[in-house]
Structure 1
Amino acid sequence: MATSNELRVVNGSGKVSTFKLTDSSLLISRDPKKTVDVPLKQVLWAEHAQDTLHVHFLARKSKKGSLSLVKASGRIFPADKSAVDAWIDALTAKAYEGVKQRRRLKVLVNPHGGQGKSVAIFRKKVEPILKAAHCTLDVTYTTHSKHAQALAKDLSLDFDAVVTVSGDGLIHEVINGFAEHAQPLKALNIPIAPIPTGSGNGLSCNLLGVKDAFDVCAAALNAIKGRPMKTDLFSFTQGNTRRLSFFSQAVGLMADLDLGTEHLRWMGDTRFVVGFLRGIAKLSPCAATLSVKVAESDKDKMLESYRKVRDAAPPPPEAESESEGALPPLQHTSPGKGDDGWVTFDKPLLYVYAGQGPYVGRDLMQFPLSLPDDGLIDVVAQELTSRGDMLKALDGAEKGGPFWLPTQHYFKAHAYRLTPRSKKGCLSIDGEAYPFEEYTVEVHPKLGTLLSMYGRYVDDFKMQKPQ
């Protein structure tokens, strides 16, 4: 006999299966020795039709494997039919606790992103998961550069989220489209959920963690059940041009290895390692002057503050802002006069890398102390040093090891400005190429919105300070 927590069905083999609901899991038992434990967050939907129960969920075939879509079905016991609806309601309520069901999603697919497999991945893996969760999908396949930006500029504000099937470049377009929207602050309240199919998928590393960084099924689950998480955005100004950046800005070695390996997209994110090794072989100085409006530069103090925030429980999702009006005004278009916190870096540079989100790729945790909404940007100034020192930096790079290099200077900043002293060089903004000219970046606290299953970035910075 069914209860509010347990339901019996006859599976396709004619054997009895039991579906048992607990506070944290759905337990599916085919016999006493075979029980599948499905975390409730991975349950997508349950329904019954013509006396048959169907439960859709995501599961791993192995402990280290990726998630995949599973449908468990069975014929309902006649004696249990009267309790089925109540059981399904109980399961769905727990599986979607605090999260809206049947989200309405705007999906943008870039057919040319990364290795050119975005369309196939979306249709084969992602779309079936979103449909299993009964999401309403409005899908557009982008056809040209800045197509996503144009779509975001005129996007209806009633979508629950924008899902980008590509790399970080498409997110850059969407955010800048939101900035041009007739109601930019409301548009920027629409959460973005990336599906990692590009060659640069740094945001997915930070939202999903390194283990699931390229798991498109885990990313689809985030689009279905992630909660809105406010994040700082950055104004990038160059001459009379203002753009928003959500992820990173790079000059010197780090920009060269990104933009200089576009022809190696077929390698996936391995191309960045190849680019790094090429850059170390050349070891070209970065001819630029860096000025920073510093909030903190003491690594020990920054680490202590970071740990206090990370040790605390993630804050609950903020209520959706009803803000009207334009983007925040610029405050730091030029370094102020006198002692107001602006510092000029006075050592020869190999690269400058600034941004937010600990990981810039699976192999490099460049900003280990980054927080989504601390109102600051993390700025790394790497001194020109020996090839041997830079090769040593590869050891533990995926865990934030370079943070402790004496030649790697780390700032928490309100703003910074970079002035090239040469006409030759690369500038990468969120992985996109920009003119190698003077620019300023400043922080806008909590201007952007992402979806997150965790309410924070997923990282693991445990590298101890060398003795």
Structure 2
Amino acid sequence: MSFAYKDVSPKRNLRVLVNPKGGPGKASEIFTSVVQPIFRAARSNCEVTYTERSKHAMDIAKTLPLDTYDAIVTLSGDGLIHEVFSGFAEHPESVKAFSTPICPVPTGSGNGTSLNLLGLKEGFDVGVATLNAIKGKPMRHDICAVILGERRILSFMTVALGLMADLDLGTEHLRWLGDGRFMYGFLRGLIRLKPCPVTLSIKVAESNKEKMARAAQDFNVNIKSSRNDYSAPANDGQASGEQSSADATDEWLTLDKPILYLFTGKSPYVARDLMQFPVARASDGFIDVVAQEVTSRGELLSSIDGGPKGAAYWKDFQHYFKATSYRITPNTPDHEKQNLAIDGERYPFGPFEVEIEQGLASFLSPYGAFVDEFNVPPPSQNKTNEAAGAKEPVLKPLKKLTCLESS
């Protein structure tokens, strides 16, 4: 027993939340036929609730007895995790509540969190996710605070405007398609090609794509070689000279080009077919900000094939920043009609600002870091290698971005 569990306590006490209507609607069946038998074999103690309404999980989380459970297990998509964190924010002992690790079992549409914790090969594997609940270790994770009017909304995954919000919120009636609904929404959005009329202002920590990519790759190598205790807040992404949040500028910079969508996040995968934030780290203290410039339909279609590998990261028309904060200002009087998606949930759109809360939350992880394989070299490296037949990558600095101006 001690060898099998090593430094993890066996017979965990788990609070299990099952959303019967999440994604394709098979969570109840999956729990009964797959998850529950594994928990019983591991002698885990489970208190199970089948959610009956919106915000049911939130109500449970904000009154959760904090010394009773080793983890919360969610059978749903990413929306139920958003509810749990929203509940923690209203808990009488909020900070302590956030230290309770979450373990997702993938039964939703996108299941992005499970993909990030387990990787593309096993991110949709219910059995592997259940074993993570039994033997995984807590891994710290940043939380983004969205200040929208008088509300403070917490986001652990993504904030989306424009095309990326439309393809998510506009296909909720197609949940029976699973993650296929997102591709349908993307193609429908390409037909319309509607710009996102907002002004984006950012406190930038880093915008050099090659530098960010090297730091992320070095970090992954270090994690794989060390496998140290990662229950404490980590300096994720601080390898290879990447800036710390303390080094970030206090100056607000404004993107002066029209954009098709804004997509910001804290983890690489948002779906099986899209690694949108390939250099994201769980608790590096930064928000990964993607501003997709308005471009041709052909250019956007060309990005689909490399979606699971994060190839669009290198596209000139996709601007990528590590930021400590950003602001959005609507540019049209009827902005209330635009979609705003926070962790895939619909919120009323208006001016907002986003800040980072480093290492506030926790997930169970079998590896201590996200499982992403971002090995796509920059275009300059591809051309150099083809011309010279070089085996080792030759990295050259990308031209300095000229689309930022002080505000």
TM-score (norm: length of structure 2)? 0.86
Gaps of 5+ in 2: 234-248, 381-407
Equivalence for 1:110: 19
1:22-61 pair list within 5 angstroms:
none
What's the offset of the Cα at 1:315?
4.2
8 Å Cα contact 2:15-2:72 kept in structure 1: yes
Residue 464 (1) aligns with residue 377 (2)? yes
Equivalence for 2:307: 397
Equivalence for 1:142: 51
1:151-162 pair list within 5 angstroms:
151-158=60-67, 159-162=69-72
SS of the counterpart of 2:324?
strand
Equivalence for 2:37: 128
CA distance in 2 between partners of 1:293 and 1:109 (Å): 39
What's the offset of the Cα at 1:420?
1.7
What's the offset of the Cα at 1:199?
1.3
The number of residue pairs the alignment matches comes to 358
Equivalence for 1:206: 116
CA distance in 2 between partners of 1:342 and 1:300 (Å): 23
CA distance in 2 between partners of 1:315 and 1:410 (Å): 30
8 Å Cα contact 2:166-2:189 kept in structure 1: yes
Please tell me the residue identity of whatever aligns with 2:258.
P
CA distance in 2 between partners of 1:145 and 1:315 (Å): 39
CA distance in 2 between partners of 1:100 and 1:115 (Å): 34
CA distance in 2 between partners of 1:411 and 1:307 (Å): 17
What's the offset of the Cα at 1:317?
2.5
Over the matched positions of the two proteins, sequence identity in percent amounts to 55
CA distance in 2 between partners of 1:317 and 1:290 (Å): 34
Residue 250 (1) aligns with residue 160 (2)? yes
CA distance in 1 between partners of 2:232 and 2:313 (Å): 35
Equivalence for 2:215: 305
8 Å Cα contact 1:200-1:431 kept in structure 2: no
Please tell me the residue identity of whatever aligns with 1:418.
I
Please tell me the residue identity of whatever aligns with 1:97.
K
Q: Which runs of 4+ in 1 moved over 3 A?
A: none
Equivalent position to 2:326, from 401, 407, 416: 416
SS of the counterpart of 1:205?
helix
Residue deviations 1:169-223, cap 9 Å, x none?
0000001101111101110000000011111311011001011111111110110
Residue deviations 1:350-396, cap 9 Å, x none?
00000111000000000000000100010000000000000001121
8 Å Cα contact 1:230-1:372 kept in structure 2: yes
Equivalence for 1:173: 83
What's the offset of the Cα at 1:304?
2.0
8 Å Cα contact 1:126-1:220 kept in structure 2: yes
Equivalent position to 1:215, from 118, 121, 125: 125
What's the offset of the Cα at 1:319?
5.2
Would the alpha carbon gap of residues 319 and 290 (structure 1) be closer, same or farther in structure 2, given more than 3 Å must change?
A: closer
Residue deviations 1:338-361, cap 9 Å, x none?
x83311110000000001110000
Query: Which has more radius of gyration?
Result: 1
SS of the counterpart of 1:312?
helix
1:39-438 pair list within 5 angstroms:
92-158=1-67, 159-313=69-223, 314-318=227-231, 340-422=250-332, 423=335, 424-438=337-351
TM-score (norm: length of structure 1)? 0.75
CA distance in 2 between partners of 1:229 and 1:345 (Å): 34
8 Å Cα contact 2:110-2:272 kept in structure 1: no
Please tell me the residue identity of whatever aligns with 2:92.
A
SS of the counterpart of 2:292?
strand
8 Å Cα contact 1:114-1:199 kept in structure 2: yes
CA distance in 2 between partners of 1:465 and 1:341 (Å): 29
SS of the counterpart of 2:213?
helix
Gaps of 5+ in 1: 1-91, 321-338
Which of the pair has the greater relative contact order for Cα pairs under 8 Å at 6+ separation?
2
Please tell me the residue identity of whatever aligns with 2:40.
K
CA distance in 1 between partners of 2:8 and 2:330 (Å): 47
8 Å Cα contact 1:295-1:341 kept in structure 2: no
What's the offset of the Cα at 1:440?
1.0
Equivalence for 1:454: 367
CA distance in 1 between partners of 2:17 and 2:49 (Å): 5
8 Å Cα contact 1:378-1:412 kept in structure 2: yes
Would the alpha carbon gap of residues 319 and 415 (structure 1) be closer, same or farther in structure 2, given more than 3 Å must change?
A: closer
SS of the counterpart of 2:49?
strand
SS of the counterpart of 2:188?
helix
Please tell me the residue identity of whatever aligns with 1:196.
P
Q: Which has the higher strand share?
A: 1
SS of the counterpart of 2:21?
coil
Please tell me the residue identity of whatever aligns with 2:56.
H
What's the offset of the Cα at 1:318?
2.7
Please say which of residues 97-106 and 301-310 is displaced more in the overlay: 301-310
CA distance in 2 between partners of 1:358 and 1:393 (Å): 16
CA distance in 2 between partners of 1:319 and 1:347 (Å): 40
What's the offset of the Cα at 1:279?
0.6
What's the offset of the Cα at 1:437?
1.1
